[in-house]
Chain A
Amino acid sequence: MARISPTAAATSNGQDPLAGQIPFKGNGAGTPEVIIEARDIVVGFGDRLVLNHTNLNVYRGEILGFVGGSGAGKSVLMRTIIGLIPKRQGTVKVFGVDMDATSDAGRRAVERRWGILFQQGALFSSLTVKENLQFPVREYLNLSQKLLDELAIAKLEMVGLDASACDKYPSELSGGMTKRVALARALSLDPEIVFLDEPTSGLDPIGAGEFDTLIATLQRTLGLTVFMVTHDLDSLHTVCDRIAVLADGKVISAGTMETMLASEHPWMRAYFHGKRSRAVEHAVPQPTES
């Protein structure tokens, strides 16, 4: 229990905004680099506050699973970080760049370094799969058509599809293929961060499992940082290094699966110890009291 004590100390003096959030240990030595820093975020629609002074850190090289009840504001926080939803208060720093203070060019430079997988895929319906993958590349880099085509096929193979999908239109793809193509597009500029909004929703358990493995593989091969909004306990268990829990507009806890299972918070108990979580719970060695 020694590693929790510094955070416990921070909680007691009440100063640290990330109270209760245990940082990712990383694979290297020393303190891990914070790649996304969201501080004191307030977002509301009309009278309703969805995010109420929320804080969250994402560290380089980790896969962060972000959970919370339906309508708790998980996607809202993700969309706030990537700048799709305006916030009433707070700062977002990505790669150490304050997204509000920076110029348009600075923003674009950051945007070029992240990729986003939207919940419904958000593939451009009037472009073929290949053109969808090449669209961002063509915009930023001046490459030959031959190289673009080869890279599109390479990316498709990396997400488990093959060259035969190239000339299909998004409306001809199945749900799982759409997710894979959308992931390939999110990866097309070799981003450092990928945001995944419910990547396994709408996939069958086998497909979801394959997708989890795929994300873990890609994270390893490309050295990605992954921010994953999810409901899927299996994904949380199999691929996530760290889990953050959003409830009542705040990140109430962040840490490993063991920390989640040990928590006494009522919502987290219901979530991580509910009927559907049995299999996961049995698979994780319970923290022994010593």
Chain B
Amino acid sequence: MNIRVNGEKFLQDTVQGDRLTLSGAGAWIAINAHTLEVAIQAISRRYPAVKHVVIDMARVERLDTFGAWLLERLTRVFSARGCATDVTGLSSDYGALMSELRTVKLDDGSRRTGSQSLFYAFASIGENIASVGGSLLAIVNMLGALTMAYARVLTRPRSFRFTSLVHQLDNVAWRAVPIILLITFLIGCIIAQQGLFHFRKFGADVYVVDMVGILVLRELGVLIVCIMVAGRSGSAYTAELGSMKMREEIDALQTMGFDPVEVLILPRILALLIGVPILTFLGSMAALYGGGLVCWLYGGIDPEIFLSRLKESIALNTFEVGMIKAPFMALVIGVVASVEGLAVKGSAESLGRQTTASVVESIFLVIVMDGIFAIFFASIGM
């Protein structure tokens, strides 16, 4: 009953027949609002049958919006039961505030959220499944728009934004070189070390060279680079385009008669198409170097033996398989990043959501594409 004792500091009740007199006291302000609310609820529940209520506010020292609203709520509760309610003794300073609050119309209950949460949970599963189709459609749409923009640029080469392309190449390829080299080098080292460790058990040390060569050149070089690029540049594209969308820059471009796809997206995607194969080549070389280094230092395979064995185990088409895949992967990353960037809505949260979606989707699609390519190359015997 501690609360009631506290509450009585602010609101005391005396009842005579069907007439209730409430006398307020103290500071009816924000920090006391919780205690006051509890006191008001208790009092309105305790006297369900009174006919006349007088609220004497003469001893209330201060009143702010919080206190004033609670007073207003108290009068509304009693008025709604058909009581005659009078507020007396309120300082005239607060008259304006009270008359302001008297006109407040609360929610009529037409807006209800969360009451059918189970229904919404199922609905959102359905919407998500349907949206997969939608986003595939958006990707196809973007591919079409890109082809159109590319065709326009081919007919009017002067309109191509070469500066933008160089700038994007700098961001996407040149600045990515150190981190790509480091990561692929380490991956090469790890594969060689694991191979040596296990192959040594049955004396097949030298086949590690075959494994490193084929794995790196066919699959891992391009995959690691694409995953890195999706995380590094794909997310940047989505965030850039998304914040341009939020600040209406894309609308501005459109109204000036520019095609945003041609101005913003084409240079970005061309930069990826040029940059990713270069990075794949560099990354594959770094991985082979790392593999060779581990074979020499850890496995005791001399560099000359490593090189001659590598020459025997891989053909040019092993290298080609990896390199052919690179531009296709680049296109997937670029298109997904652009589609997600343009899907950003007004809020900061949506920017974050689309950037996440962009990275997850492009890595997923890169791996799926890699699988499709594997089947394709196997069937044509490459």
A221 and B97 contacting across the interface, CB-CB below 8 Å: yes
A157 and B97 contacting across the interface, CB-CB below 8 Å: no
B65 and A125 contacting across the interface, CB-CB below 8 Å: no
B19 on the A face (CB < 8 A): no
B96 on the A face (CB < 8 A): yes
Given that A170-B346, A220-B96, A221-B96 are contacting pairs, would A141 and B31 also be in contact in the complex, using a CB cutoff of 8 Å? yes
For A143, what are the chain B residues with a Cβ–Cβ distance below 8 Å?
Answer: 33-34, 37
B73, B107, B348 interface centre (most CB from chain A within 10 Å): B107
Residue-wise, chain A 117-153 has the 8 Å CB interface mask toward B (1 for contact) of 0000000011000000000010011111001011101
B29 and A167 contacting across the interface, CB-CB below 8 Å: no
Interface residues of B in 86-125 (CB under 8 A from A): 93, 96-97, 100-101, 103-107, 111, 113
- Chain B residue at minimum C-beta to C-beta distance from A125: B347
For A238, what are the chain B residues with a Cβ–Cβ distance below 8 Å?
Answer: none
In the complex, what distance in Å separates the CA atom of A242 from the CA atom of B179? 60
Given that A143-B34, A150-B69, A221-B96 are contacting pairs, would A126 and B347 also be in contact in the complex, using a CB cutoff of 8 Å? yes
- Chain B residue at minimum C-beta to C-beta distance from A140: B30
For A157, what are the chain B residues with a Cβ–Cβ distance below 8 Å?
Answer: 100, 103-105
Interface residues of B in 19-45 (CB under 8 A from A): 29-31, 33-34, 37
In the complex, what distance in Å separates the CA atom of A189 from the CA atom of B100? 17
B104 and A154 contacting across the interface, CB-CB below 8 Å: yes
A162 on the B face (CB < 8 A): yes
In whole Å, how far is A145's beta carbon from the nearest beta carbon of chain B? 11
Given that A151-B66, A151-B69, A163-B107 are contacting pairs, would A126 and B349 also be in contact in the complex, using a CB cutoff of 8 Å? yes
B56 on the A face (CB < 8 A): no
In whole Å, how far is A151's beta carbon from the nearest beta carbon of chain B? 6
Interface residues of B in 54-83 (CB under 8 A from A): 64-66, 69-70, 73
Residue-wise, chain A 200-241 has the 8 Å CB interface mask toward B (1 for contact) of 000000000000000001001111000000000000000000
Given that A151-B65, A222-B65 are contacting pairs, would A158 and B100 also be in contact in the complex, using a CB cutoff of 8 Å? yes
A166 on the B face (CB < 8 A): yes
For A126, what are the chain B residues with a Cβ–Cβ distance below 8 Å?
Answer: 347-349
In the complex, what distance in Å separates the CA atom of A158 from the CA atom of B101? 8
- Chain B residue at minimum C-beta to C-beta distance from A218: B100
B113 and A167 contacting across the interface, CB-CB below 8 Å: yes
Number of chain B residues whose Cβ lies closer than 8 Å to a Cβ of chain A: 29
- Chain B residue at minimum C-beta to C-beta distance from A153: B106
The prevalent SS among residues of A at the interface is: helix
In whole Å, how far is A23's beta carbon from the nearest beta carbon of chain B? 23
Interface size classification for chain A: 20 to 34
Interface residues of A in 252-281 (CB under 8 A from B): none
A98 on the B face (CB < 8 A): no
In whole Å, how far is B104's beta carbon from the nearest beta carbon of chain A? 5
A162 and B105 contacting across the interface, CB-CB below 8 Å: yes
For B232, what are the chain A residues with a Cβ–Cβ distance below 8 Å?
Answer: none
A154 and B348 contacting across the interface, CB-CB below 8 Å: no
B345 on the A face (CB < 8 A): yes
A223 and B93 contacting across the interface, CB-CB below 8 Å: yes
- Chain B residue at minimum C-beta to C-beta distance from A189: B30
Given that A154-B65, A157-B105 are contacting pairs, would A147 and B347 also be in contact in the complex, using a CB cutoff of 8 Å? no
A221 and B100 contacting across the interface, CB-CB below 8 Å: yes
For B31, what are the chain A residues with a Cβ–Cβ distance below 8 Å?
Answer: 141
In whole Å, how far is A121's beta carbon from the nearest beta carbon of chain B? 12
B345 and A171 contacting across the interface, CB-CB below 8 Å: yes
For A125, what are the chain B residues with a Cβ–Cβ distance below 8 Å?
Answer: 346-349
B111 and A144 contacting across the interface, CB-CB below 8 Å: no
- Chain B residue at minimum C-beta to C-beta distance from A171: B346
A171 and B347 contacting across the interface, CB-CB below 8 Å: yes
A150 and B73 contacting across the interface, CB-CB below 8 Å: yes
For B107, what are the chain A residues with a Cβ–Cβ distance below 8 Å?
Answer: 149, 153, 163, 166
Interface set of A (CB-CB < 8 Å, partner B) = 125-126, 137, 140-144, 147, 149-151, 153-155, 157-158, 162-163, 166-167, 169-172, 187, 189-190, 217, 220-223
Going nearest first, the 3 A-B pairs with the smallest beta carbon separation are: A171-B346, A126-B349, A125-B347
* A-B residue pairs in contact (CB < 8 Å), sample of 10: A141-B31, A141-B34, A147-B37, A157-B103, A157-B105, A158-B100, A169-B346, A171-B345, A190-B30, A222-B65
Interface set of B (CB-CB < 8 Å, partner A) = 29-31, 33-34, 37, 64-66, 69-70, 73, 93, 96-97, 100-101, 103-107, 111, 113, 345-349
> Beyond A167-B113, A190-B30: 7 further Cβ-contacts under 8 Å?
A126-B349, A137-B30, A151-B66, A154-B65, A163-B111, A190-B64, A217-B100
